[in-house]
Amino acid sequence: MESRNTRPLLLGLVTLFAAVGNATGQAPEAPLRLSFAEALARATGGAPVVSLAGFRSDEARGRVRESRSPLLPSLTASGSWVNRTFNKDALGIEFPNFPGAPSGKLIGPFDVYDLRLQLNQTLLDFSSSARVRAARAQLASAVADSGLAAEGAAQATATAYLRATRAQALIAARQADSALAAELVALAQAQKDAEVGTQIDVTRARTQLVSAVGSLVVARNQYERARIDLVRSLGLPSDAAVVLTDTLAAGLPVVTLPDARDAVVALALAQRPDLNAESARGLAARRSVSAISAERLPRVALEADYGANGVSLTDAIATRQIALQVSVPILDGFRREARQDEQRAVVRASDVRVEELRRQVAADVDAARLDLGSAQEQVTIALERLRLAQEEVDQARERFKAGVAGNIEVIEAQTSLIRARDTDIDARFAAAAAQVALARAAGVARTLH
C-alpha cells in the first residue's frame, strides 16, 4: 500500500524536476550566443556608459577647436544698401553760396551701396595659445574618463557574466542533487518493499527530494536575475535571450599581469584611467593659470578691409583699409587675479587627489592580490572536499544497500555533498571575481578575455 502511495508522489516530483530542468534550457528563437571575451568586447565597445563617455570626449575635442579659433583667420563678406537724409546743421556742415549748392537744412535723400570683404588675423596672442594648451589637457582628461568608463563597463560585464555562469553551475549541481535524491527515494522504497527498510527511511528520502527540487527552483531564479544583469550591462533589453558559451569551470577570466607586486603597482600607476584623468585635470588647471597670466601681455592683430561703395552699383569705386592693432590690458577690476586664485585652488585640490589616488592604486592592487591568493587556495581545498564528500556518499549508499545501516547516513552524506558542491562553485567564482578585481586595480580590465 505504501509502495502504491509513494510512486505517484515520486513520479510527480520527478516530473517537476524535469520541468524545471527543461525550463533552464528553454530560450526564444535565435538567442544571442556570448562567450566571455565577446561579452567584454561588446561592453567596452558599445555599452551606454562607454558611448556617453565618448560623447564627452567629442565635446572636449570641440572645445579644443573653439579655443584655437581666435588664432585663425576670420573672413567676412557683407553687402548693404542705405537710403538716407542728413540735417546739415546737426552735422556742422556749411556750404558756400554757389550755384547748385543745397539749400535748407536737409540733404538727401540719396542711396549708398557698399560691398566689402573684411579679414581679421591675430598675429600674436599668448593668452589664446595658452588656452589651446589648457583645452588639450582637458581633452586628455576626457579621453581618460572614457577609458575609466570602459574599465567600469568591463568589470561590470565580467562580474555579471561570472555570476550567470555561477548560477548555471548551481543549476547543474541542484539537478545532480535532485537526481541523487530521486535515486535514494527509489532505493529506500525498494528496501521498504523488501522488508529490509523502514517507512522513516522512505520519508527522509522523499524530504530530501522535495528540498532538492525546491533548491533547483531557487537556482533557476538566480540565473534569470544574473542574465538580466548581464544583458543590461550590455545595453540590451531585459528580456533578451542569451546562451553563455563559457562556463565557470573554463578557467575564466584570463589576463596577463606581472607576478611581482611592485611591477603590478607600477603598471597600475601608468594605466589607471582615473589617475590619468585627474592628472590631466590638474595640468589643465595649471595651463589655465598661465593663460590668465598671459592676458597681461600685448596682443597684436591685423585687420584688412576691401570693397566698393558708391551712390549706385555702376559708379561704385574700390576702397580699402589696413590696420595693425596692438592692445595691452592694464586693469580689469582685478578679475584676472580672482580667476587665477580660483584656478590655483583647483590645482592644489587636484594635487591632493592625485596623491591619494596613487596610494589608493597600491592599496587596490594589494587587496586584489590577497583576495586572489586566498581564493586560489580555497579552490584547491574545495576540490578535495568535493572528492571526499562524493566518496562518503558512495560508501554510505553501499552500506544502505547492504542493509547494515539506515539511510540517515546516506542523507547526511548527501547533505555534505551539497555543501561541498556549493563550496566548490563559490570558490571558483571567488577566484574568477578576484582576477577581475586585480585586472581593474591594474587598469587593464579591458584586456580580460
Report the pLDDT value the prediction gives residue 99, as an integer from 0 to 100.
60
pLDDT of residue 305 exceeding 90, the answer is yes
CB 336 within 8 A of CB 296: yes
To which residue does cell 566698393 refer?
308
pLDDT band, very low/low/confident/very high, at 423 (cuts 50, 70, 90): very high
- Distance, C-alpha 40 to centroid of its chain: 11
Averaged pLDDT score across all residues of the chain: 88
Report the pLDDT value the prediction gives residue 386, as an integer from 0 to 100.
94
The letter for the amino acid at 29 is: E
Give the angle 142-267-443 at the CA atoms, nearest 5°.
45
Give the angle 165-170-171 at the CA atoms, nearest 5°.
95
Q: What is the pLDDT of residues 351-402, one digit of tens each?
A: 999 999 999 999 999 999 999 999 999 999 999 999 999 999 999 888 888 8
pLDDT of residue 16 exceeding 70, the answer is no
pLDDT band, very low/low/confident/very high, at 1 (cuts 50, 70, 90): very low
Separation of alpha carbons 8 and 203, rounded Å: 14
pLDDT of residue 148 exceeding 90, the answer is yes
Which residues pair with residue 115 across a beta bridge?
A: 79, 308
All cell numbers assigned to 445: 580590465
Between residues 83 and 251, the one the model is more confident about: 83
Q: Taking residues 188-201, what's their average pLDDT?
A: 84
pTM of the model: 0.82
Which residues pair with residue 118 across a beta bridge?
A: 76, 305
Q: Taking residues 244-256, what's their average pLDDT?
A: 86
CB 375 within 8 A of CB 434: yes
Q: Taking residues 234-259, what's their average pLDDT?
A: 89
Q: What is the pLDDT of residues 205-225, one digit of tens each?
A: 899 899 999 999 999 999 999
Report the pLDDT value the prediction gives residue 402, as an integer from 0 to 100.
81
Give me the percent of the chain exceeding a pLDDT of 70.
90
Concatenated DSSP letters of 230-257:
HHHHTT--TT--EEE---GGG-------
pLDDT band, very low/low/confident/very high, at 21 (cuts 50, 70, 90): very low
Report the pLDDT value the prediction gives residue 86, as an integer from 0 to 100.
80
Report the pLDDT value the prediction gives residue 85, as an integer from 0 to 100.
86
Buried b (16+ CB within 10 A) or exposed e, 55-69: eebeebbebbeebee
CB 174 within 8 A of CB 154: no
Residue 414 φ/ψ, nearest 5 degrees = -65, -40
Q: Is the dihedral of CA 103, 107, 109, 111 positive or negative?
A: positive
Report the pLDDT value the prediction gives residue 27, as an integer from 0 to 100.
45
- Count of Cβ atoms closer than 10 Å to residue 378 Cβ: 18
* Domains within the chain, CATH numbers bracketed: 2-72+130-296+335-447 (1.20.1600.10)
Q: What is the pLDDT of residues 272-299, one digit of tens each?
A: 999 999 999 999 999 999 999 999 999 9
Separation of alpha carbons 40 and 137, rounded Å: 29
Report the pLDDT value the prediction gives residue 97, as an integer from 0 to 100.
62
